[in-house]
Amino acid sequence: MADTAPRTTLASFWAQLPREGRWLLSTVAIQLFGRGMTLPFTVIYLHEVRGIGLDVAGALMAWIFAVGVIVTGPGGAAVDKYGARLVTLVACVVHMTGVGILAFAESLPAAIVATTLMGVSGVTWPAFNAMVAAIVQGPLRQQYFGVNFALVNLGIGLGGIVSGLYVDVHVPRTFTTIYLVDAASLLIPVALLLGPLRHVHARADKPDGADDVPASYLRIARQPAMAWLLALTFIGTFVGYGQMEAGFPAFAREASEVSTRTIGWAFAANTAVIVLAQFLVLRRIQGHRRTRVLVLMSLIWALAWTVLGLTGIVAGTLTAAFGVVLYHVFFGLGETLLQPTIPAITNDLAPDHLRGRYNALSSGFFQVGGILGPVVAGFLLRHDQPTLFIALVVAGCLSMVALARGLEGRIPASANGVEGDEVPAVADRPHPAADVI
């Protein structure tokens, strides 16, 4: 059932945000600018500038994600116990330290210490989502997650463009500079959390009568709604981000036979689509079932991977180059549908006093999918199986359609973004919100 309420404009969205939400949102792009400067070049920096073997450099990148998975569980519990603000603050300081060490790392042990600290800061995602959910209530929450995602991509995209023009593997100090800029950019959230947002602890006490609410990760994950949502999150990352960051460039180079410049243009097109289309997409999906939005997203991603697969038939041609860029246009459009929905469903399902654990579970499954995706892509493409690779990811996208439809029957209408009378099972029912600010 679609909502007949007037569509939100960017101006009305900003006007409805509480002051704390405006503080968080207004600094996102600046915060991520530094991250965007370093993200595309870390492997290159470790290998070509610091002389670390390419395989070891790749393993260090994977280690960052692995550490992130390890700390997700304790991090989620810490959010519930100490509050999202404190956990985010500590994570920012730890990440800043790691990036600072990496800027001057001339040996493998120093690089291991740096990447370990960067991985520990993986608790930032569930902590930040819990803080947003504490500050922003109701339908505005979905819009916030979507706009935040667009601003994250804007910051990362601009940072990547600037660093691409600046860094030079023959001048090591250029890489040191961008890592120091990345570290300095984290002073912005630290200043916010110590200043204007110092009263936002984003922690809720356990409400009366909530003794039967599952608090362990296993019991939370076994709830029907969360089980389906976590499966959807894992598959979405496995066939989505895990393959987009590893499988896509490998396929584009080996099977489509396009230049690295074309791949760069494809990523630029992805960022442009997200930044330009996100708020328009948010207006279109407002009042519609989030599970139906996820179905549409899955079909768009299936189309994207099909387009990429077809470029292998016309490898090395202008048509192949066009198809590679078009893939990222479709993929970016799918992202604008995915990013507002899954975080909103997760936080609408979560009781306030367990929001950290719910977001940590979602983050953990997301990161595991991101780790396994490149492994599978590397194996298939290394063994000359590009057709099987495309078939696998398209099948994964289509399986998400079934998962989204299955999820629809297991969550309340309120968590699905619409008004309705459906009442979920006791184990899935959100509990009354607590005052966290």
CA distance 239 to 244: 8
Confirm if 207 and 348 have CB atoms less than 8 A apart: no
Angle between helices 28-38 and 140-166 in degrees, nearest 10: 40
- The answer to whether the beta carbons of residues 147 and 162 sit under 8 Å apart is no
Q: Report CA torsion sign: 6, 11, 15, 18.
A: positive
Please give the pLDDT value at position 207. Answer: 58
pLDDT at 436: 30
Dihedral angle of Cα 295, 296, 297, 299, to the nearest 10 degrees: 90
Residuewise pLDDT in 10s, the chain (437 residues): 444 455 667 778 888 889 988 998 888 888 888 888 887 778 778 888 899 887 788 788 878 888 988 998 899 888 888 888 899 999 999 999 999 999 999 899 999 999 999 998 888 888 888 888 888 887 788 888 888 888 988 888 888 888 878 888 889 999 999 999 999 999 999 999 899 888 887 666 665 555 555 678 888 999 999 999 999 999 999 998 888 877 888 898 889 998 878 888 888 899 899 989 998 998 899 889 999 999 999 999 999 999 999 999 999 999 999 999 999 999 999 999 998 899 999 989 988 888 889 999 998 998 888 888 888 888 888 888 999 999 999 999 999 999 999 999 999 998 998 865 444 443 344 433 333 32
Tokens of 262: 């074309």
Specify the DSSP element, H or E, that contains 27.
none
Record: fold of 18-203:
Growth Hormone; Chain: A; (1.20.1250)
For 216-420, which CATH superfamily applies?
MFS general substrate transporter like domains (1.20.1250.20)
CA distance 48 to 343: 38
Residue 428 has what pLDDT? 42
State the angle between helix axes of 224-239 and 290-311 in degrees (0 to 180), rounded to the nearest 10. 20
End-to-end alpha carbon distance in the chain: 33
The set of residues, in sequence order, having a beta carbon less than 8 Å from that of 194 and lying 6+ positions away, is 89
Contact 400, 302 (CB under 8 A): no
Amino acid letter for position 20: E
What is the rounded distance in angstroms from the CA atom of residue 131 to the CA atom of residue 123?
12
Instruction: Determine phi and psi for 106, rounding to 5 degrees.
Output: -110, 5
The residues near 184 (Cβ < 8 Å, ≥ 6 apart) are 34
pLDDT at 235 (0 to 100): 95
The amino acid at residue 117 is L
132/12 Cα distance (integer angstroms): 18
Q: What is the 3-state secondary structure (H, E, C) of 397-419?
A: HHHHHHHHHHHHCCCCCCCCCCC
Q: In CATH terms, are 18-203 and 216-420 the same topology?
A: yes
Q: Domain ranges for the chain, please list them.
A: 18-203, 216-420
pLDDT of 214: 61
